[in-house]
């Protein structure tokens, strides 16, 4: 049952959708994570953004859970890890860093196929009973799926470099009675769900049923129309349906078409296609996930894995023990590169925050 139906009053915070719309949506710092849409029955996704579709007497859940209204990382880390980060922890707090590769990574996998292997292991071991994944249609439009089988998880492998409100599917999972929900997504999506899990508030609507957060590394994301019309079609003369794979490697944004031909531009030349809400974003490595997975730091066909919480560590160890992944040490050089990128993202956040008048986000 959604919070609004259960607790009409009293209010939790003195800020509701009006403030959310003013502070986040209209000012274009919304990262379109879908958290506000997932937890309020009166907010829906209309014309590609959150909209209030019903009168709201003010409860404040949307404002509270949005990762762009306020986010105190020190407070979140203290609750999640029992301490705040040290100055040298540019990738956030983690227990173990390794390079890993799935034993049976499919051709769809972006890097080592580890994100998929972890979710499959979590499902097969009973740690989760569903996984929210981001799949695509034939033209690379993102499609969020509530996967309940290993094959459904596997078929969503691979990175879609366009923004998606994946968190919205938590609503479906709760409504369908899922008891242990797994989620994979970008750092901003993980922030929203971690706020939902950690903030003290009077509502109970199933947040304890969110059991696992697998976070991805993310430097930036793109707007579907801008990317497909501007870059894929405008610059490379391809239709979205002709694309076999997108990847970002060694400073290049690369599109591989279905004949196997690669088309590429320098990543700096893709700024005009970036999603505006990615500007004021400091989190490169999904610092609030149970376990984070990215490509930077490891060689081709391998993923960099950071286990952060006890749940993340247990899952990774179980996946390794079950033969779902193989591992090797992550190189010092690889980890240093990931740290440099993370620090660079924080710098961008600082300047964009001034430019876009962002307040309340404390790194
Ligand atoms: C927008 C974006 C930007 C990224 N930028 C970087 C970067 O700068 N540096 C870096 O090292 N890594 C980056 N990554 C992570 C990288 O591309 C891989 O996702 C990661 O290395 C895991 O690879 P894998 O083979 O283990 O995952 P796979 O087994 O291929 O699984 C990938 C999972 O990602 C999920 N997913 C795909 N697209 C999206 C999306 N748009 N939103 C939410 N979830 C999605 C799918 O549900 C799938 O389960 C980015 C990922 C995304 C989505
Ligand atoms: S950032 Fe997420 S929670 Fe905040 S307004 Fe946008 S979609 Fe909603
Ligand atoms: S750059 Fe930040 S806001 Fe944009 S998709 Fe990645 S984590 Fe989300």
- For 313-328, write each residue's pLDDT tens digit: 999 999 999 999 999 9
Residue 14 has a pLDDT of: 73
Per-residue pLDDT tens for 132-158? 999 999 999 999 999 999 999 999 999
Residue 60 has a pLDDT of: 85
DSSP lists the bridge partners of residue 305 as: 98, 293
Six token digits for residue 259: 């004949």
Q: Which residue puts its alpha carbon closest to atom 1 of ligand 2?
A: 30
**Looking at the chain, how many residues does it have?**
363
User: Measured in whole angstroms, how far is the alpha carbon of residue 14 from the centre of its chain?
Assistant: 28
Residue 58 has a pLDDT of: 66
Q: Is 360 exposed, middle or buried (0-12, 13-18, 19+ CB in 10 A)?
A: exposed
HEC readout, 24-58: HHCCCCCCCCCHHHHHCCCEEEECCEEEECCCCCC
Q: Which residue puts its alpha carbon closest to atom 5 of ligand 3?
A: 221
Q: Where are the alpha helices (DSSP H) in 70-175?
A: 73-81, 114-125, 150-154, 169-175
Residue 57 has a pLDDT of: 64
Q: How far apart are CA 363 and CA 354, in angstroms?
A: 14
For 3-25, b where at least 16 C-beta lie within 10 A, e where not — what string? bbeebeeeebeebbbebbbebbb
Six token digits for residue 78: 């203290």
* For the CA of 345, the nearest atom of ligand 3: 1
Q: Are 158 and 112 in contact (CB under 8 A)?
A: no
| 133 Cβ contact list (under 8 Å, min separation 6) | 119, 144, 145, 147, 152, 153, 156, 184
Residue 7 has a pLDDT of: 38
Q: Which residue stretches of the chain have pLDDT < 50?
A: 1-11
Q: Which residue puts its alpha carbon closest to atom 8 of ligand 3?
A: 188
Q: Which residue of 218, 219, 284 sits with most ligand 3 atoms within 8 Å of its CB, as the best mutation to test the pocket?
A: 218
Q: Which residue puts its alpha carbon closest to atom 19 of ligand 1?
A: 159
- In order of start, what are the domains of the chain with their CATH numbers? 3-221+276-362 (no CATH), 224-273 (3.10.450.750)
Residue 12 has a pLDDT of: 59
* For the CA of 132, the nearest atom of ligand 1: 47
* For the CA of 277, the nearest atom of ligand 3: 3
Identify the CA nearest to 362 among candidates 1, 4, 353. 353
Per-residue pLDDT tens for 79-95? 999 999 999 999 999 99
Q: Could you tell me if the CB of 188 is within 6 A of ligand 3?
A: yes
Mean pLDDT of all residues in the chain? 94
């Amino acid at each position: 049952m959604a919070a609004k139906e259960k607790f009409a009053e009293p209010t939790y915070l003195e800020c509701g959708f009006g403030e959310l719309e003013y502070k986040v949506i209209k000012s274009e710092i919304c990262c379109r994570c879908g958290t506000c849409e997932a937890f309020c029955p009166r907010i829906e996704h209309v014309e590609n953004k959150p909209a209030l579709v019903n009168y709201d007497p003010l409860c404040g859940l949307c404002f509270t859970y949005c990762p762009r209204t306020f986010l105190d990382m020190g407070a979140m880390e203290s609750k999640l890890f029992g301490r705040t980060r040290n100055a040298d922890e540019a990738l956030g707090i983690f227990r173990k860093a390794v390079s890993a590769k799935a034993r049976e990574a499919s051709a769809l996998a972006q890097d080592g196929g580890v994100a998929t292997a972890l979710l499959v292991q979590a499902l097969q071991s009973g740690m989760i009973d569903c996984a929210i994944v981001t799949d695509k249609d034939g033209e690379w439009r993102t499609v969020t799926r509530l996967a309940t089988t290993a094959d459904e998880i596997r078929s969503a492998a691979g990175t879609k470099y366009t923004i998606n409100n994946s968190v919205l599917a938590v609503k479906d999972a709760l409504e369908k009675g899922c008891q242990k929900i797994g989620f994979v997504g970008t750092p901003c999506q993980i922030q929203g769900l971690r706020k939902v899990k950690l903030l003290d508030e009077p509502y109970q609507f199933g947040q304890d049923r969110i059991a696992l957060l697998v976070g991805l590394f993310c430097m930036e994301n793109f707007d579907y129309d801008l990317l497909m019309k501007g870059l894929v079609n405008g610059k490379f003369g391809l239709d979205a349906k002709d694309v076999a794979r997108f990847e970002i490697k060694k400073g290049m944004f690369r599109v591989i078409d279905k004949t196997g031909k690669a088309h590429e531009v320098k990543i700096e030349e893709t700024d005009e296609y970036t999603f505006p809400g990615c500007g004021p974003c400091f989190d490169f490595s999904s610092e609030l996930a149970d376990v984070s997975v990215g490509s930077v730091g490891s060689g081709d066909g391998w993923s960099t894995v950071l286990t952060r919480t006890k749940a993340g560590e247990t899952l990774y160890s179980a996946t390794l023990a079950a033969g779902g992944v193989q591992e090797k040490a992550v190189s010092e050089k690889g980890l240093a590169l990931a740290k440099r990128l993370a620090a660079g993202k924080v710098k961008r956040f600082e300047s964009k925050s001034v430019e876009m008048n962002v307040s309340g986000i404390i790194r």
